Structure 1
C-alpha cells in the first residue's frame, strides 16, 4: 500500500462522485476538505483505494488487487496501524479477507436514506405545531462555545470551529433556554450533506430531534444541497426519526464493519 498524492486523490474523486455508494465523509477526504489518509496500490494508476477519515469512517473503492488487499488486511486486522480509536468501514463492497466467518462479530448493518422536498411526510413534519418553550437557530460564532459545551461534536469531523460554522449548516434547538438538540452536516461534498443529529438524553421524547432535522433539511434545500441519512438498522430511534421526517431507503441495508485497535 502507498499513500495517494493529492493530485491522484482528485482524479479518484471524479470517478467516486458517481458511485452508487457515495459517502460525503469519504469524498471530503479525497478532496482534502477534511482530514484523513488515502492508500492505493499505485499512485500513478490506482486500481484499488482505501480511504480513511480521521474520525475513522472508511471505504474501499476500485477494483480488487490481491496484493493490496493482503496489505490492507494486515493494516486493519493484524497490525492495527490506523490512528483513530476504531475504523468504521462502509462495506457495500466486501474484500475477501472480511468474508472469513471469524470476522462476523465485527459486522453490523446500516441503511442509507434520502429525502424529496415533495415527500408528504416531510410536508407533514414541517406543518407540525410548534413545540412549546423551543427556540430554533442556525449555529454561529457568537454562541459556538455554548453549543460545543453542550454537544462536544463540532471538531469531530470538521477541522476548526470556523469550518463547522461555515459548512455544517448546523441547526440548534434550545428548550427552555438550554441547547437540547442539534442537526448538522458531518461532511458536505458535491452538494450532498451527511446528516448527524444528537439530542441530549434529558430532552429526548419531546420531539426536539424532529424539529432539528426538519429545519436542517429546510436549510439544505434552501442551499440546493441534498441531505443524506445513514444509520444502523438496529437503531430504532434513528430509523423512526428518519421515516417520520420523510426519508426513504436508497438501497437495501449494507454490511458495516467496526474494527477497534
Structure 2
C-alpha cells in the first residue's frame, strides 16, 4: 500500500470517475480542494485506491487487489493507523475483510440521494416563509462566517479555511428574530456536485426551518450548475423524510457503511 503524492492525485481522480459511486467528500480530496490522504496498490497502475478525508470519510475503489486489501485491513482494523478520530467508510462495494462477525458492530446502512429531475426544473421561491415569525433566510458570505462558526461549529470541519467555506460552501443561514437558528451548506463540492449538510438548533426544530434552508440551498446550487446530493443513515427518520420532501430521489439501494473507531 503506497501513499500517493499530490502530483498523482489527478490520475487517481480519473480512475475514480470510472467508479459508479461518487461522493463529493472523496472527490474533494482527489481534487486537492480538501485535506486527506490517498493510498494505492501501485504508483504506476493505480489498480485499487483508498481515499481518506481528514474528517474521516473514506472510500476505496478500483479492481480488487488481494494484497492491497490485506494491507488496508491491517491499516484500518488491526493497526488503526489512521490519524482521524474515526474512519467513516463508504462501502457501496463491500470487501470480504469487512464481511465478518467481528465487524458487525461497525456496520450500519446509508442511502445516497440526488435532487431529482423534476425538482431541478422547479423554480424555488426565495421569499421568506411568513409562517415563522421573524424568519430571515440569508445567502451567507464572508461576513456571516464567524456567526456560523460560533453557533454551529462546522466551518473548519471539512473546509481548510474560513475563506474556502465562505466562497465554496454555498451556505444558507436561517435567522429567527435576528438569531441564527438553522444552516444548510455544502460539506464538499466536486465533480459538479455538492454534498449537503443541514443543522437546526434544538430550540428551533419542528418549525420547517430545515426545509426552508435546504430549498434555498438547492436553488443557490442550481444557479451555479451544481447538483445537490444527500447522504444519510437509513435509521435517521427525520433526515430521510426531509430529503425526500425537499425533492431528492434515491441513487440506488441503501449501502453498507462502517464506522471504525481508533
TM-score with structure 2 setting the length: 0.95
Partners of 1:126 and 1:119 lie apart in 2 by: 15
Partners of 2:222 and 2:124 lie apart in 1 by: 16
Partners of 1:119 and 1:158 lie apart in 2 by: 28
Aligned residue in 2 for 1:29? 29
1:85 is displaced (CA, Å) by 0.5
1:108 is displaced (CA, Å) by 0.3
How many residues of Structure 1 are paired with residues of Structure 2 in the alignment?
Answer: 261
1:126 is displaced (CA, Å) by 7.3
TM-score with structure 1 setting the length: 0.95
Partners of 2:144 and 2:166 lie apart in 1 by: 10
Aligned residue in 2 for 1:52? 52
- After TM superposition, the structure 1 = structure 2 runs for residues 120-139 of structure 1, keeping only pairs within 5 Å, are 129-130=129-130, 131-139=132-140
Aligned residue in 2 for 1:66? 66
Aligned residue in 1 for 2:231? 230
Partners of 1:125 and 1:230 lie apart in 2 by: 25
Partners of 1:58 and 1:68 lie apart in 2 by: 16
1:215 is displaced (CA, Å) by 0.4
Aligned residue in 2 for 1:163? 164
1:86 is displaced (CA, Å) by 0.4
1:145 is displaced (CA, Å) by 1.1
Q: Which piece of structure 1 moves more, 125-134 or 60-69? A: 125-134
Distance 1:179 1:79, change over 3 A: same
Partners of 1:242 and 1:122 lie apart in 2 by: 16
Aligned residue in 1 for 2:215? 214
Partners of 2:26 and 2:133 lie apart in 1 by: 39
CA RMSD in angstroms comes to 1.9
- The structure 1 segments of at least 4 consecutive aligned residues displaced by more than 4 Å after TM superposition are 120-129
1:120 is displaced (CA, Å) by 9.7
